[in-house]
Amino acid sequence: MTFRKWLPWLAVGLASACALMLPGPAGAQTYPDRPVNYVLGFAPGGESDLAARYQQKAFQKKYGKDMIISYKAGAGGGLAWAQLNSLPGDGYNITGINLPHVVLQPLEGNVQYKTEDLVAVYYFHYTADAIVVAADSPFKTLKDLIDYAKAHPGDVTLAGSGINSANHVAHEKLDQLAAIKTTYVPFKGTGDLVASLLGGHVKGAMSYLTLASLQKGKTRVLAMGSEKRSPVFPDVPTFRELGLDWVDGAYRGVAVPKSTPEAMRKQVSDMIAQLNNDVELRKSMIDGGFEMLDMPYDKIPAFMQERTREYMVIARRLGLIR
């Protein structure tokens, strides 16, 4: 065969070799090919930790690698979010992110990050607000709590996770909608407040169904902020059923450092989507009181605009803006 006849075959061979050496879609298929570091801004034992543990298990099953979870609790998650952009933007460093926290905290000015500094790539679930009391609490219904609070202004103490967080916002909403005055007691995370709740050091918690699910038999849920009742707690009424126009809660997702290339942001988003579609993970989440959400990277800008508009109303109520 002449050299000229060899040319087409030589060209194909060279092209194939180059495709293997150059970065791009071919290399992208190997992601993730090593452990992923997953930073959480809250102490172990809360909703963020519980969800991450389910994701860790699904990650190991799907990719055969480890998802290494670490904690940087402080400032209601603000410590971890302030340090997010100091991490390498290589797709192997991700941080849990929460709404409304990352919108409201910078408005107060006591955290070292801005909302626009945080690159969320996926929101994977939602937890509705819920008022939880100890099983031996004298408050059997939400009406019991409201009636007591009206007779004893400020005496009802409600534990919650963080300042300018979903729990803090929910506490303010309760006071406004029920025309009462209660006292909010912030903790570093849901896991940290359980002992105070069960020990009677606070009269209740402004939290989520997940807390009640983890502490079944030890707690009672008075009301929840979903559109409809939860299949996990079918006997618990929604706030709307009880006459309060209240559907709200916390969104949780994953963010990457701002230095992460656009293509890699999409890959991380796709990876979290794969975990979120794991049958065992979804069942564990739903059984635990979570409501599943599938909000990928390309839909997040519109989602954030919508949520931010609502949070600005809350921010005025909290005195964060005028």
Q: What is the pLDDT of residues 228-255, one digit of tens each?
A: 999 999 999 999 999 999 999 999 999 9
What are the structural domains of the chain? Answer: 34-126+249-318 (3.40.190.150), 128-224 (3.40.190.10)
Query: CA-CA-CA-CA torsion for 241, 284, 127, 98, nearest 10 degrees?
Result: 180
Residue 3: predicted pLDDT: 42
* Cβ atoms 253, 295 nearer than 8 A: yes
- Taking residues 92-99, report their average pLDDT: 98
Our CA angle for 70, 133, 313, nearest 5°, is 70
pLDDT in tens, 17-42: 443 344 444 344 599 999 999 999 99
Q: What mean pLDDT comes out for the span 140-164? A: 96
Got the DSSP string for 112-141? S--GGG-EEEEEEEEEEEEEEEETT-S--S
Q: What is the mean pLDDT of residues 211-225?
A: 95
**Are the C-beta atoms of 238 and 229 separated by less than 8 Å?**
yes
pLDDT at 314 over 90: no
With CA atoms as reference, report the closest residue to 246 among 226, 231, 220: 226
182: nearest Cα among 226, 208, 148: 148
